[in-house]
Amino acid sequence: MTGLQTIATQLPVWGDDRQRSLGADEDAITLAVGAGYAALDRDGADSAAATVEHVLLVTRDLPQLEGNSTAPLLAGLGLPDTVRASLVLGGAPQALDAVTHAAAGTLVIGVDATGAPGAAAALVGDGGLALRPLARSDRSLPLHVRDAQGRVSEYNDARLTRERGLIAGLARLGLDAKPIAIAGVRGKDAAAVTVGGAPTLPTDGASAPLFALAALAEQGSSGPLVAFEEATLVAVEVGTGAVTVRRDEPAPRPAPQQRLSSEGTIAISLPAYERAFEAKLRLEAGKCTQCGELALPPRTRCLRCGSEEGHTLVPLPRRGTVYTAVTVRVPVPGVLTPYSLVIVDLGDTEVRLIAKVTGAEPASVAIDDTGDLVLRRVAVRNGVTDYGYAFRPDRAPTPASDTKTPVNTALSGGQA
């Protein structure tokens, strides 16, 4: 039997009440880091990060099929690079199977970056919300196939999916009672095979069973939970137990109108990428061993006392306040414009960081706005995904008018 200590969910801000859509700077890794960071409560005084021994990511939407996707994941979560990290290619059944059989100290993250995007993470521990395996049925009904070259073939037959996939699969499970929730199918088909009051889920892929567990925990419901995909089903018994649920599901907003320059892209420099990776993704400053001055990125020579005796690495807060802001409207190769840049005061550290604004319309963030630094995709150069931090404001801002008053023409409070 498995126990869940914490469940965290995350949805992109763009879209409508029916379905969200990813921003141009989001992908499976940024979603995974957002949900996992919340599950570990990294900004809290009692972070569970020290208990994590294994990070398990379940998704069908890896941004890179070759190349290391676990290093940015661990760095974004602020976990040591010695922590075991695994990738599972799968959907709802594989995610529910993973979380049900995981050992204590495992952070399981389910991510969907296509279709209905979203992410959810669960920290497995001793005690908490109890899960017990019930049954599984793994049959072949290849309705959606993506080959090694990325070509997709679909056999769109809703009746076949319902009759031979869902209903026949549930019969093979032989459950004593109707499921209290089903992940992987939505709408009328989900309502027909579950008891009344089953939660409506925003996703139907790898994150869906974790969204279901969060909803059931909030309802205080117990009983069978089923994860479904094509003709594969996994069933678990959701029991009782205290679990913390954290949700990052902002109200949806229409995506802003931006344009992409057709002037080509900027090539990547892998030596520069490697040198900046740790400081940029872990958001760690060098603290001078002599005077305690913080420097981001870490420096060989302290800017305050001139010491070259070395430094220690300390994590920086991911909460910040806008010191100054500007909006860029000149096209830049490979970057959607217009976009806003801010200089952010990081907590009370006296460290400032320049970052793009995410999750808000261009020209909508003002001086003294507060928010979070969140991992985002900076660019894809020569096929390599580059990550960094963007500023996501707390409030739902309104873009400033373009007609008469230029946005932040005077950079009040300092210069960028």
Tens-digit pLDDT profile for residues 227-242: 999 999 999 999 999 9
Strands annotated E in 217-265: 223-229, 232-238, 244-248, 259-260
**What pLDDT digit, counting tens, does each position of 16-38 carry?**
988 899 999 999 999 999 999 99
DSSP letter at 329 equals -
CATH 1.20.1530 fits domain 261-270+318-416: no
Q: Give the residue among 70, 73, 69, 136 at the shortest CA–CA distance from 100.
A: 136
State the average pLDDT for the chain: 89
Confirm if 203 and 99 have CB atoms less than 8 A apart: no
DSSP letter at 304 equals T
Please report which residue ranges of 83-180 form alpha helices under DSSP H: 92-101, 158-160, 168-173
Average pLDDT over residues 150-168: 88
pTM for this model (two decimals): 0.90
**What pLDDT digit, counting tens, does each position of 336-378 carry?**
899 999 999 999 999 999 999 999 999 999 999 999 999 999 8
pLDDT: which is higher, 137 or 383:
137
Contacts of 269 by beta carbon, 8 Å cutoff, 6+ apart: none
Residue 325 CA to residue 322 CA, distance in Å, equals: 7
Tokens representing 190 are 């989900």
List the CATH code of the domain at 2-248.
3.40.47.10
**What pLDDT digit, counting tens, does each position of 252-273 carry?**
999 999 888 776 677 888 888 8
Long-range contacts of 214-221 (CB under 8 A, 24+ apart): 214/7, 214/8, 214/9, 214/120, 214/245, 214/247, 215/181, 216/180, 216/181, 217/4, 217/7, 217/129, 217/243, 217/245, 218/245, 221/180, 221/181, 221/197
**What pLDDT digit, counting tens, does each position of 269-317 carry?**
888 888 888 888 999 999 999 999 999 889 999 999 999 999 999 999 9
Residue 300 CA to residue 71 CA, distance in Å, equals: 25
